[in-house]
Each structure stands twice: as structure tokens, then as C-alpha cells.
Structure 1
Amino acid sequence: MKLELGQKGFYQGINIVRKAVASNRTLPILSSILIKAESGRIKLIATDLEVGIESFVEGKVLEEGSVLLPANYLANIIKELPREKIKLELDSSKTKVSIKCRGSHFSINAGSPDDFPLLPEVKGALRLKVKQGKLKEMIDSVDFAVSQDQTKPFLAGGLLMVEDGEVRFIATDTYRLAYKYNVIEDKGVSAEAIIPRKSMNELSKLLADLEDEVEVAITQSQVLFEFSGIVVVSRLIEGQFPNYKHVIPNTSKTQVSLKKGELLKAVKRAALLARQDDNIIKLSFSPKELVITAKAPQVGKAYEKVKISLKGEEAQIAFNVNYLIDSLKVVAEQEVIIELSGPLAPGVVKTKKEDYISVIMPVRSA
């Protein structure tokens, strides 16, 4: 194998696939990156067996072939080379790779590509298209609600649901639920898939806020995302995700409209003292204002007022302040709506067009 690559593009490609390099040492081969040159194209591949990433890199293929190189050493070497042409060549014994750039020359021990687990082919999959920016927004809107409880693996990811011309992402840890949807053109497509949180996070990092489309392919055990010369393949979590429609309240006794920015700032200030009292804040809703209180037994009390527009009954409720902050931070709109049905019933934070909904379980307070 003999290649010529630009330093900048090569390093960018390495950093893309490096997100899937395994961090544990149980399978040392997974700490490597596979470089594959065929049909005039150069492809980089990495996987930790849960998520795999491919990235195509611009360059000249002088001789086809493939090689396995340690990810960290390769990344660090290419990073420090000047932004010029890099010559990469596998020797005749296929055990060492020469990396040359201007006056720099490295000789790196190479692994056998035959032992590297290739990314699975997603055949016979259901396929749909989603805009990059919208997919990123959906993932980021629900990520905070993914469960950390390893005893319930079916909650350790986000539910991707395609139905009725919509694609939805839902996540819950049983204390809160987050829901985000977007309209798509593929009207007749229907599917469900629970995607591991790590795969969601790595995918979000690679997606850009663009109108470019992502092709999504879903099977019973895997999901594939292809965009901008990048392919991300993830295993799916087995199990039955809870019926989120039963969790989101259909009615409310109190509906409040208010500025998201003002509410978020007030809640963050109250949180400074709430952390000394199990992170509890109390919210009291009257016709024209919301009063937020928090206390720290050894310090004092916090008292915040926010202007609101209220429909229905006055109300009081207590939340874990971190849950409320998480729900508000991901809202892009300037106005949010809070709906309540009593001090011990779930509270709802949502946008006016209801494309984002967060359900928060209340806490009992003294």
C-alpha cells in the first residue's frame, strides 16, 4: 500500500473515526485504526464493537492495500506534522508503515487488517432521510434524560421512532422524560430502534447544523447513519421501551407561558442554594408571576420572581432543580409553556408548537 495525503484532511479523518476507538485494553486490536485503500479511495475505520465509524479521506492511491495502525500514535504523529503532503507506505513484509513529510520520517509497527472486525453491512434495512441539523437537534434535546441505570439496559439509550411522516427521539430515566420530533418526507415509513447513549453522543459530535441530509438505515439489530463522507454504524439495545404516550399528560389544570431565558437564569440562581437542600426548588404560580424559592439550612434562602401569563388554576410544585435546568437548556425557542395538574402530578415543559416536550416528576417538600 502506498498513499499520498494532505496533512489537514488526514488528521481530520483520523479524529472522526477515533471517536469509536475502544478505550479498554481487553481487545488491543480495537485501539487501532484500519486504513483501507481500494478503487482509488482511502477509507479510515474504527470500532469498539458497539459503534463503528468510517470516514473517507482525500488523497492519491499509488498502490492499493490495507493496514492497521495504533490510533493514538497515528493521531499524535499526524497532528504534529506540517500542513504538507504526507507519504504513507507499507513495507513488503506488511509489518511496518513508513510516514514521511518534509524532513520527518516515522516507521510504525503495523497490525494485520485480517483480524480487524469490519463494520457490518446493513442489508434489507428500512431507509429514510433526515436533515443533519434536525437530527443533531433531536439527539441533543433528549440526551440528558437517558438513564444511567445499568440494570435497565432498555432505558440506557434513546428511542428513535419513525411513524406517520415524523421521526421522533424519546429518552427517560423514569424520573423525567424528553421528547423531540421532526417532520420528514418519507410518509410511509415505520420503525423503532433504541440507540445506545454513546452512539447518540458520538453521532451528535459528527453532525453539523446543516440542511444536508443524513441517510438512516434501520434493521432489527443495527442502525446506520451516512452523511458527508462519514458512516456511523451502531448496535441497537434489545428490550421494550416504555410507552411514552402514557407518560405525557393529556390534560392540565394550570398552563403558564413565560420567557425561557428569564426562567432559566432565575432557576440557576436559586440552584446555588438548592444544592444544600437535596436540589429542591419550590415554584408558586399566581396569575401574573412565578415565585421560585430555595433554601440552604446553613446559609439562607433564595427568592426569585418571574413574570408569567397563567391560564387555569394557581399552583405550587417542587422539582429537582437540575432536572428543570436540563429541560430548559435544550429549548431553542424564546418562550416555554409549563403545564401542571397538581403538586404530586408530573409537570410538563414544552414549546408552543409542541415539537419538544419534557415531563418531570415532582418531589415532596417540607
Structure 2
Amino acid sequence: MKFTCLQENLNFGLQATGHLVNKNINLPILNNVLLEANSSGVKLSSTNLEIGISCHVRCKVDVEGAFTADARLLSEYISLLPNDQVNLELAKDDFLKVACRSSETKIKGIVSDDFPVIPKIERTSSYKINIKDFKKALAQVVFAVANSESRPEISGVLMSFNKIKPGMVHLVGTDSYRLTEKALAISDNKEERDVIVPVKSLQEVLRVLGLVKEQENQIDALQIFVSDNQILFSCDGIELISRLIEGQFPDYKQIIPTETRTQVVVATSELVKSIKAVALFSKLGIFDVNLKFNSAKGLIIEATNSQLGESKSEMAVAFAGEDNETTLNYRYLLDGLNNISAEEVELSLVDGNVPFLVRPKGDDSYTYIVMPIKQ
């Protein structure tokens, strides 16, 4: 194997694939990145047996072949080289020779025969999603997903394609204390499908999409292929494949309130500041703040701690409905508010025993609900 590549291109490929690698004592080859050189260029691949990532890099290939080298070592070394031509060549005794200008290095590797086979998926038709929109949607959902081994079905994000509404995918995450749902447009595939994708896989998708440069005058689309037990995300020469979680996602629609008795509209940034200030006096371990909705005074946020004191903040709001109140975990409430970019939010409430609903003003595509703390 022998090829020449620009440092910038090779560094990008290693950044995309190398992050997945963790120290694995039982299977040392999982610490490595697979380099496959052929007539179309070089393909870099890594896997942790749950997720597989590959990236195609433009290179001039002199001798075709395959080899694996320590992913982190190779990535860190390449990142420190000047932005110039880098020559990589398989040397004897399982060494990878890396040369750039006056630098020359040999990195010990492992033959590619032992590298795990990354699953392939049938690519009959894909769902297409705008990359920028998908990045924002993932960030608005993944934070609410449970890290639960006992309930694997909520340790991932539900992706519901075309089922709730044709031409839309709904992303849903919950840890049973709060729930978030985001809808966004998809194209090219009308098939209805529900899949649960592990949250770690989607966090890796989010990281990889952050590396992809948003070029002008280019269709900024992510392709998603789905099979019975695998999902593949593909864009700009990078592919990420992950297993799907088996099981049934909870019927979350039944806990989203369909009616409201009290609704207020309030400035997002001011609400966040008031909650943070009052929350300093919430009870340790309970993190409770009391929200009172009063038609005369607006929104009143209160917290009392017998050891620290108490705090109250009144906010002017656009008020509709009846007087009401609820008690919430302020950390959960802030998580939702911090993922809303709108200047104003709508807060909706039936009563203190029913989930509390938060939406960006005038935007039904994002829903965030928090379960109340029952007194």
C-alpha cells in the first residue's frame, strides 16, 4: 500500500473516524483505523462494534492495499504536520511510514485481516434531510434521552418517518421525567417507519456533521437509509452505520396535554435569568421551583429552602386563561429553555398534576414537556 494525500484532507478523514475509538484491551485492533487504498482513493474506517464510521479521502494511490494503525496516534501526528503533501507507505515488519517535507515517521500497525467487518445496508431509497436543520433538531432532543440499561427502549431517540405526518420525521426523546419532540421535513421517501436509534450513535452523528463544511451553492442534504436492524447516515463522503434498538417506544402522545387552562407568553432570556436566580434557594436534591400564574401579577417564580432562605421573582407576561400553579424541577425546565432559540416561549398548563408544556412562540414543530413534582 502506498498513497499521497493532502494533509488537510487526511486530517479531516482521521478527525471524522478516529473519535469513535476507545482503548480496548481485549480487542487491540479496535484501537486502530483501517486504511484501504484503491483506484477511487482512500477509505478510512473505525468501529466500536456498535457504530461504524467510514470516510472517503481524495488521494493519489500508487499501490493498492489495506492496513490498520493506532487511530489516535496517527490522527494526532497528522494534525501536527504542515499543510502539504503527505506520503504514506506500508513498510516491512507491519510499520506504516509517514513522510511530509523533512519529517519521516514509522508507526506500528496491525494487518487488516483481523479488522471487524462493518455491516452494509441495502440502499434502495433514502430519506433526505437538510443537514443544518437536522443538527439543530438532534441538539434539541438528545439531552432528554435516558441513560438506562433497564429500559433500553428509552435509551435512544424515536425517529418516526412519515407516520405522524407525511413528508415529516418526528424525533422524540424521554427519560420519563421530561420529553421532547421535534418535527422536520424529509424528502425522497414516502415509506412509513418507526425506529429507535441509540443516543450515542446520534451524538456521534452530531459530532461528524459539525465537521462537515457548509459550502455555498451545494445541496446541504443528509441521506438516511434504514433496514430492519441498522441505520445508515451518509453525507459528503462520510458514512455512519449503527444498530437499532429493539423494543416498543412508549406511546408518548397520550402524555402530551391536548387542552390548556392557562397559557402565558414570556421572553425566553428573561425567564431563564429569573429561574436561575430563584433556583439558588431550591431544595438540594429536589431542585424545585414553584410557578404561579396570576392574571393580575403575571408569572411568579418562587423557591424556599429552610437552611438558605427564600426567593421570589415576578414577571410580566401575556396572560390567557385562569390562575394556576405547578412545581417543577428547575434543571429540567432550563434544559428545555436553553434549547429554544426563539425570543419568546409559550408556557401551557392544565394543573399541577399534569405535564407542563413549553413551546417556542408560534412554532408547533418543537414540544418540550416536564413532569410536575407532586407536593
Picking from 212, 219, 244, the partner of 2:227 is: 219
* Residues 171 and 125 of structure 1, relative CA distance in 2, 3 Å threshold: farther
Residue 270 (1) aligns with residue 278 (2): yes
Instruction: Count residues with an aligned counterpart.
Output: 364
Are the counterparts in 1 of residues 154 and 175 from structure 2 also a CA contact under 8 Å? yes
SS in 2 for 1:207: helix
SS in 2 for 1:81: coil
SS in 2 for 1:337: strand
Uncovered stretches (5+) of structure 1, i.e. residues with no partner: none
Measure, in 2, the Cα distance between the counterparts of 1:217 and 1:94: 40
> Which structure 2 residues correspond to residues 1-366 of structure 1 after superposition, within 5 A?
1-91=1-91, 93=92, 95-123=94-122, 127-163=126-162, 164-186=166-188, 188-208=190-210, 212-274=220-282, 276=284, 278-287=286-295, 289-351=298-360, 352-365=362-375
Measure, in 2, the Cα distance between the counterparts of 1:140 and 1:114: 38
Are the counterparts in 2 of residues 347 and 359 from structure 1 also a CA contact under 8 Å? yes
Which residue identity lines up with residue 312 of structure 2 in the other structure? Y
Q: Give the structure-2-normalised TM-score.
A: 0.93
SS in 1 for 2:104: strand
Uncovered stretches (5+) of structure 2, i.e. residues with no partner: none
Measure, in 1, the Cα distance between the counterparts of 2:334 and 2:160: 26
Name which of structure 1's ranges 165-174 and 266-275 shifts more when overlaid on structure 2. Answer: 266-275
Q: 1:126 Cα shift?
A: 5.2
Which residue identity lines up with residue 327 of structure 1 in the other structure? G
Q: 1:356 Cα shift?
A: 0.4
* Residues 86 and 189 of structure 1, relative CA distance in 2, 3 Å threshold: same
Are the counterparts in 2 of residues 277 and 297 from structure 1 also a CA contact under 8 Å? no
CA offset digits 1:26-46 (Å, max 9, x no partner): 322111000111123111101
Which residue identity lines up with residue 138 of structure 1 in the other structure? A
Measure, in 2, the Cα distance between the counterparts of 1:60 and 1:276: 61
Q: Give the structure-1-normalised TM-score.
A: 0.95
Q: 1:8 Cα shift?
A: 2.2
Q: 1:95 Cα shift?
A: 1.4
Amino-acid identity (%): 32
Measure, in 1, the Cα distance between the counterparts of 2:316 and 2:285: 25
Which residue identity lines up with residue 313 of structure 2 in the other structure? E
CA offset digits 1:215-244 (Å, max 9, x no partner): 100111010011111111111111100112
* Residues 125 and 155 of structure 1, relative CA distance in 2, 3 Å threshold: farther
SS in 1 for 2:116: coil
Q: 1:198 Cα shift?
A: 0.7
SS in 1 for 2:337: helix
* Residues 112 and 96 of structure 1, relative CA distance in 2, 3 Å threshold: same
Measure, in 1, the Cα distance between the counterparts of 2:283 and 2:53: 40
Measure, in 2, the Cα distance between the counterparts of 1:61 and 1:139: 37
* Residues 23 and 340 of structure 1, relative CA distance in 2, 3 Å threshold: farther
Measure, in 1, the Cα distance between the counterparts of 2:11 and 2:283: 43
**Stretches of 4+ aligned residues off by more than 6 angstroms:** none
